[in-house]
Structure 1
């Protein structure tokens, strides 16, 4: 990514200890430090004016504090990371225009430039409550994979819709092959399919409002919480990048891969995992 202008923002790292596929995931050792600390380091490298680890588990908070990061206890019953951020925003009483970036606690390879970029993108779009990111994809295996979330944009790169379905649907290219997904062609050159990157910047004012918003039918159907914001008329600015982010950690295999990358001094873009 190109360098983004510096804007003041706060990074919050929400981290739940419970995980069905990888127990105690935030505390998993990566190069001698817990994963949640590695994520917090990436947030700090992005230039955040404050980095907070938010968790319902005292062990996670202790690990963060032992490595010099602020940590705040949150409730255990939050249905989403956004709800957890809303509780943190309420606790700290941040002003309406404060920018908060949600850096997921299982993304130890997140590019600091991307974190900084979504904050700057939100600052540059005062009519939006949220900013996020996306990159183009062309592989039909990704386009038709329901675990790969797609986003369609308007002429100003504001999100029109997010979906697990292949959107936009290139009718003339896809229809002759449907439903034989294995035979689906790449989209025509005139159609750009964007994969949504699950990194968000919020205005504190929106975070105070979010817990009061009712769940949206499209949110429930797609299992995508950002659709609640669109359903209630909020606007989401999308930062486009040509680079696919490095994957996060969901499984023991993911953890082993990341541990090996840190052990080898692997660099993410121009910024290496910190020792």
Structure 2
């Protein structure tokens, strides 16, 4: 049976939203909401928060979750996941990186990504995408777009809309082509996670500011799973004032 370790990386000193993981959303911290949502998944063998700060660690333990301390020097959640994997007892086939700033993640999204690992033997890396429905998202450089091949393997990720539709007005692009945005949740085969954390930053990665391009440039395959569920990432405090997010918060218990 395939075993999947779910890890929620949680960094304390975010420059754009300090102590974001501990920010309260309708009576519960952001990290607690992520943890409780992920814990409802049917696919994870174990779930743990990997943090660099004792306040987050103690908070997770207090609400009944599991946590582990990791270095303050990691440049990405991927690196933090690898350190956590090394420290946790037991053997896992895959590690799933569940974003600590997506408090409204649905367990069905985790199960959708896990199904990719179960359906196709030997998957190296996998991630989620969702069809883009509006021009604001399509042309927003903070929303990462992705194109993929007939085998559902990623070809490229970009902050720019891809592909460019030649001789088609931009206002018609969504009517002429199916565009997809990236949902930033990853699954790594455990041995591949070790390999990709040893890679040097690549040219495309530095150009776009996207770590997954480093993996593609070095020949790793990223399997794609499509979700219909919207995902809301909280990067800055102002994100909580977005109308769609405010509506979602109203429905929380």
The answer to whether the superposition gives a TM-score over 0.5 is yes
Cα gap change, 1:35 to 1:188, in 2 (>3 Å)? closer
Aligned to 1:178: none
Aligned to 1:55: 51
Contact 1:13 1:102 in 2 (8 A): yes
Aligned to 1:168: 163
Cα gap change, 1:209 to 1:77, in 2 (>3 Å)? same
Aligned to 1:24: 19
Displacement of 1:9: 2.0
Within the candidate set 166, 173, 177, 1:187 is matched to 173
Residues 6-43 of structure 1 deviation map (CA, whole Å, 9 limit, x = unaligned): 96422111001112232211111123322111111111
Contact 2:2 2:93 in 1 (8 A): no
Aligned to 2:88: 92
Instruction: Please list every run of 5 or more consecutive structure 1 residues that lacks an aligned counterpart in the other structure.
Output: 1-5, 175-183, 267-272
Q: d(CA) in 1 for partners of 2:102 and 2:191?
A: 26
Residues 46-195 of structure 1: matches in 2 within 5 Å? 46-47=41-42, 48-92=44-88, 95=91, 98-174=93-169, 184-187=170-173, 189=175, 191-195=177-181
Cα gap change, 1:186 to 1:242, in 2 (>3 Å)? farther
Total equivalences in the alignment: 250
Q: d(CA) in 1 for partners of 2:174 and 2:197?
A: 41
Displacement of 1:142: 2.3
Larger Rg: 1
Contact 1:173 1:188 in 2 (8 A): no
Displacement of 1:83: 0.6
Instruction: Please list every run of 5 or more consecutive structure 2 residues that lacks an aligned counterpart in the other structure.
Output: none
Pairwise CA RMSD: 2.2
Displacement of 1:138: 4.4
Contact 1:56 1:74 in 2 (8 A): yes
Residues 136-157 of structure 1 deviation map (CA, whole Å, 9 limit, x = unaligned): 2243332222111110110011
Does residue 221 (structure 1) correspond to residue 217 (structure 2)? The answer is no
Query: Which range is displaced more, 129-138 or 222-231?
Result: 129-138
Aligned to 2:221: 235
Within the candidate set 236, 250, 253, 1:251 is matched to 236
Cα gap change, 1:259 to 1:53, in 2 (>3 Å)? farther
Contact 2:109 2:229 in 1 (8 A): no
Cα gap change, 1:32 to 1:122, in 2 (>3 Å)? same
Query: Which range is displaced more, 206-215 or 250-259?
Result: 250-259
Q: d(CA) in 2 for partners of 1:13 and 1:188?
A: 34
Q: d(CA) in 2 for partners of 1:70 and 1:213?
A: 29
Q: d(CA) in 2 for partners of 1:120 and 1:151?
A: 20
Secondary structure, in 3 states, of the residue corresponding to 1:239?
strand
Aligned to 1:181: none
